């Protein structure tokens, strides 16, 4: 069973005409920057995040992913953010004013954002390394709604270890002994409309399919990048001053694969603890939980219960994310915009 699953995984992931190429995440709710460069510099601090995902535990050669990302703002000056030392340290956020007119809400000011990310995804004999630099420009639309547009550029290197593959026909011209690799440009675009109670985003990745370098031995098995498209939306419902419910949805399209839809429900208490569930149609149901430890450190964990045909062989998927807030001068406990 494990050998069969290994072969299926290799065939599906290496052939670009059959399935998506980019790594899959359940914790993207807490790092949408991975999917959309328009989030570069959305917060007033430098947001650094590290994560790993082990998919389909128990299946030989199943995907294992590692990543690190970081982005920061330039010229950010949000007059609505809490000011002064010690802000955000408390367990329960400050009570809202009983008279809304007593606290004037100021229009945000335009600013720039810059970022970078690196990802490594390994599936059996196939591995992919993705490195990108990002830029975004944020501008207010109304007094409470902002919009950003972003650009990501870098490269994707795909490597195949031919020595790890055993075929009946060892003279197959498309697979040679040793390591074969291809390097492609990677171009991504995105936009993000957001406020303190909703967000809507659209992005595209791997828009350039031309190969910039490669070695011999892959005349038949061409590895071209497959464009990926993402549409995301979420809404925050304040049930009490210290409790909110945040439903969201994400749709992903990577033709000719079918449309993938995620539906998520997350609850946040006192800006410190959060928990939720996620349903990915035809694939998995995930449980998510995490904590903002202080104004510097936060972490999250998710477990995916496989509901697809791999459920008999898979013990589920595990994902861990750790975030660090640098230059957090206002000591903000919970992100202001990335809730």
pLDDT per position as a tens digit, 107-158: 778 999 999 999 999 988 889 999 999 999 999 999 899 999 999 999 999 8
pLDDT in tens, 169-185: 666 655 555 667 888 89
Note the pLDDT of residue 9. 43
Query: Which CATH fold topology does 23-87+109-163+178-210+224-326 show?
Result: Porin (2.40.160)
pLDDT in tens, 308-321: 877 777 788 999 99
89-103, 152-166, 208-222, 265-279: segment of lowest average pLDDT: 89-103
Dihedral sign for Cα atoms in the order 8, 10, 11, 13: positive
CA distance 330 to 339: 17
In this model, does residue 1 exceed pLDDT 60? no
**Per-domain residue ranges of the chain:** 23-87+109-163+178-210+224-326
117-121, 134-138, 214-218, 221-225: segment of lowest average pLDDT: 214-218
Does this model's pTM top 0.85? My answer is: no
**Among 144, 328, 133, which residue's Cα sits nearest to residue 236?**
144
Q: Please give the structure tokens belonging to residue 128.
A: 């992919």
The CA-based diameter of the chain, rounded to the nearest angstrom, is: 78
75-79, 81-85, 248-252: segment of lowest average pLDDT: 81-85
């Amino acid at each position: 069973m494990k050998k069969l699953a290994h072969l299926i995984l290799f065939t599906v992931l290496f052939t670009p005409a059959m399935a998506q190429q980019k790594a899959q995440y359940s914790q993207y709710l807490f790092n949408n920057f991975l999917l959309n460069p328009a989030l570069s510099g959305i917060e007033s601090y430098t947001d650094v995040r590290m994560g790993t995902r082990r998919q389909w535990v128990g299946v030989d050669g199943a995907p294992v992913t590692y990543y690190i990302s970081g982005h920061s703002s330039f010229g950010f000056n949000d007059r609505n953010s809490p000011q002064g030392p010690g802000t955000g340290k408390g367990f329960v956020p400050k009570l809202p004013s009983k008279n809304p007119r007593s606290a004037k809400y100021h229009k945000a000011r335009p600013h720039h954002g810059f970022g970078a990310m690196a990802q490594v995804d390994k599936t059996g004999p196939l591995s992919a390394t993705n490195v990108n630099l990002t830029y975004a420009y944020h501008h207010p639309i109304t007094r409470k709604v902002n919009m950003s547009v972003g650009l990501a550029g870098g490269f994707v290197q795909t490597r195949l270890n031919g020595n790890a593959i055993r075929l009946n026909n060892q003279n197959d011209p498309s697979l040679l002994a040793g390591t074969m690799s291809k390097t492609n440009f990677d171009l991504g675009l995105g936009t993000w409309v957001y406020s303190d109670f909703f967000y809507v985003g659209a992005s595209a990745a791997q828009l350039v399919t031309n190969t910039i370098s490669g070695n011999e031995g892959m005349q038949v098995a061409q590895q071209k990048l497959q464009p990926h498209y993402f549409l995301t939306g979420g809404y925050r419902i304040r049930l009490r001053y210290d409790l909110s419910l945040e439903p969201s949805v994400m749709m992903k399209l990577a033709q000719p694969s079918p449309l993938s839809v995620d539906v998520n429900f997350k609850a946040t208490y006192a800006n410190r603890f959060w928990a939720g569930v996620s349903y990915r149609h035809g694939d998995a149901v995930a449980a998510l939980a995490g904590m903002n430890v202080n104004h510097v450190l936060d972490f999250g964990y998710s477990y995916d219960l496989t509901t697809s045909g791999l459920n008999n062989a898979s013990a589920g998927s595990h994902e861990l994310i750790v975030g660090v807030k640098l230059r957090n001068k206002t000591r903000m406990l919970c992100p202001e915009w990335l809730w």
